Amino acid sequence: MKLNIVPARTGSAWVKLGIRTFFKQPLALAGLFFMFMAVMTIVSQVPFIGIALAMTLLPAATLGLMAATREASDGRFPMPVMLLAGFRAGRQQTRAMLVLGVLYALGFLTAMGLSWLVDDGSFARLYLGGDTPTREMMLEPDFQTAMWVFIGLHLPLSLLFWHAPALVHWHGLPPLQSLFFSGVACLRNFRAFAIFGLMWLAVLVLVVIGVTTLATLLGSPGIAGDILFPVLLLLASMFFTSLYFTFRDSFEPPPGSTP
């Protein structure tokens, strides 16, 4: 397996490829993303273990969306079964994917637990959907500290797991080795990933401004929220579509596979 060092401008290409590929199969990719969200939401509602179980399934579910993107980029229609791609590559890789999921769940719960100690769980309950945000809550110093503690811990966790499911699935790496190479790839291609993140942030800002401006011009500012929610879900689907290309360009394909 060979790591590719890509130029910074590749980050913007990943964003463009994600959006372009999404519009090749918009119904299929949006539908799979909504199924992904629905499964995560339902699983997270299981008493006591829901959040941990959802986080355990997240790497495999993300891999399913990447596999669906690969199908769409090759001109094929991604079927719903693609969401299970992480569990359909044999017993050994299924076990590795589950180990990866357990490691992610432990990391996520550790980050959330440490933030809980800072503000007695206010940020954690808001993040997990248990509380309604208020201005007073979000201005509390403890709340803001807890938020930054979680972000500071979750960001490196995300980089470790960014490519890991794909490396387990397509390169057959064991979980710990996939985490190592994922982290190295993100660090070595930091400039491209920085451009990637900034580009998506710019797209998000432009979409929000566009929707609110349109609602104002129509004389109904109140409908901006109603329009914005589904639009942001579609934007999130495009973001997840772009993840495959960050992996594809960061590593040489395994021997015998189609580039």
- Tell me: the pLDDT tens digits for 64-100? 999 999 999 999 999 999 999 999 888 999 999 999 9
What is the per-residue pLDDT for 21? Answer: 97
In a domain, 140, yes or no: yes
**Greater pLDDT, 258 or 253:** 253
What is the per-residue pLDDT for 176? Answer: 97
What is the per-residue pLDDT for 251? Answer: 95
Contact 251, 4 (CB under 8 A): yes
In a domain, 257, yes or no: no
What is the per-residue pLDDT for 130? Answer: 67
Mind listing the pLDDT tens digit for each residue in 208-225?
A: 999 889 888 888 777 877
In a domain, 245, yes or no: yes
In a domain, 259, yes or no: no
What is the per-residue pLDDT for 146? Answer: 95
Dihedral (C-alpha) 112, 183, 20, 97: value to the nearest 10 degrees? -70
Structure-block tokens of residue 198? 């900034």
What is the per-residue pLDDT for 107? Answer: 97
Mind listing the pLDDT tens digit for each residue in 14-40?
A: 999 999 999 999 999 999 999 999 999
Amino acid at 49: I
Mean pLDDT of 50-61: 96
In a domain, 230, yes or no: yes
Q: In whole numbers, what is the pLDDT of the chain averaged over residues? A: 92
Query: Is residue 232 very low, low, confident or very high in pLDDT (cuts 50, 70, 90)?
Result: very high
In a domain, 5, yes or no: no
In total, how many domains does the chain have? 1
Query: Rounded to an integer, what distance in angstroms lies between the CA atom of residue 242 and that of residue 11?
Result: 10
In a domain, 255, yes or no: no
Q: What percent of the chain has pLDDT over 90?
A: 80
pTM of this prediction?
0.92
Q: Is 86 exposed, middle or buried (0-12, 13-18, 19+ CB in 10 A)?
A: buried
Structure-block tokens of residue 247? 């992996």
Contact 185, 163 (CB under 8 A): yes
Mind listing the pLDDT tens digit for each residue in 111-164?
A: 999 999 999 989 998 888 766 778 888 889 999 999 999 999 999 999 999 999
**Domain range for residue 176?**
10-250
In a domain, 2, yes or no: no
Residue 257: pLDDT over 70: no
Mind listing the pLDDT tens digit for each residue in 97-116?
A: 999 999 999 999 999 999 99
Residue 11: pLDDT over 70: yes
What is the per-residue pLDDT for 76? Answer: 93
